[in-house]
Amino acid sequence: MASSISIHSMLIGVVIISSLIATCSANFYQDFDLTWGDHRAKIFNGGQLLSLSLDKVSGSGFQSKKEYLFGRIDMQLKLVAGNSAGTVTAYYLSSQGPTHDEIDFEFLGNVSGDPYILHTNVFSQGKGNREQQFYLWFDPTKNFHTYSIIWKPQHIIFLVDNIPIRMFKNAESVGVPFPKNQPMRIYSSLWNADDWATRGGLVKTDWSKAPFTAYYRNFKVTELSTVSSNSFSDSALQNNELDAYGRRRLRWVQKYFMIYNYCNDLKRFPQGIPAECRRSRF
């Protein structure tokens, strides 16, 4: 399945529109605050590497100093190795308050030898329930891999190693709120969620394996430049984010690695699937 895809063919044709300014690499000291967990969150290597740890007493987390409204966010992560059951490594964008917006990556740990589950979700005006889950086509604990969010007024794209895994389109035309007015900070945390994270809470965290540690590097942000609202109405800008090859890669991931899609959960939505699910995915 995945082995048939050569390394060079993994390069995805994602076109970043000209309204994006140059990408800037970050220094964790300059761009992030360690917000909780005391000594369990660390920045080292001159600000180029960050780690979060979890033990039986506490997890840890960090957040960006700046807020962002649209753009592309890239972060390389190396996840907790070995028996990570019960742990969750969360990496997401979020505003604050009861009507907050949020764009989530969550990595649900598992027992040794079983794959991580990558959990994604989109909240708008405080409402989520838009989960899609995936297995990865590699071991995310062996090396660093890049996890990205492209957030535009037209859509949100989730990418892994520059391969799109999910697109959430703006469906305001059919009454679905879309995150577009609230600037968001970048957050990440490593915490214990053994009441639900692994097999619905059946598998608990093995604290004899603590501390559990995840690593971060090569954070990059590409912000949307200041453009008039009229620029976003141009059909070319609305449709050029993924080329034909990018759309094929998206279908490949969703065919072979998606394990849950809220749009297909008819038992969950007996009155009918959400309005955005009835629109074309691509």
Q: What is the mean pLDDT of residues 265-273?
A: 92
Higher pLDDT, residue 229 or 44: 44
Average pLDDT in the 18-44 region?
81
Backbone phi and psi for residue 28, each to the nearest 5 degrees, phi listed first? -60, -35
| pLDDT exceeds 80 at position 68 | yes
Whether residue 106 lies in the annotated active site: yes
8 Å CB contact between 63 and 91: no
Tokens linked to 221 = 């942000």
Given the residues 67, 106, 172, 276, the one annotated as active site: 106
Residue-level pLDDT at 225: 57
Answer yes or no: is pLDDT of 33 > 60: yes
List 67, 102, 172, 223, catalytic entry: 102
Q: What is the pTM of this model?
A: 0.86
pLDDT at 21: 44
pLDDT, residue 278, reads: 87
Concerning whether 102 is annotated as a catalytic residue, the answer is: yes
Round the CA-based radius of gyration of the chain to a whole number and report it: 19
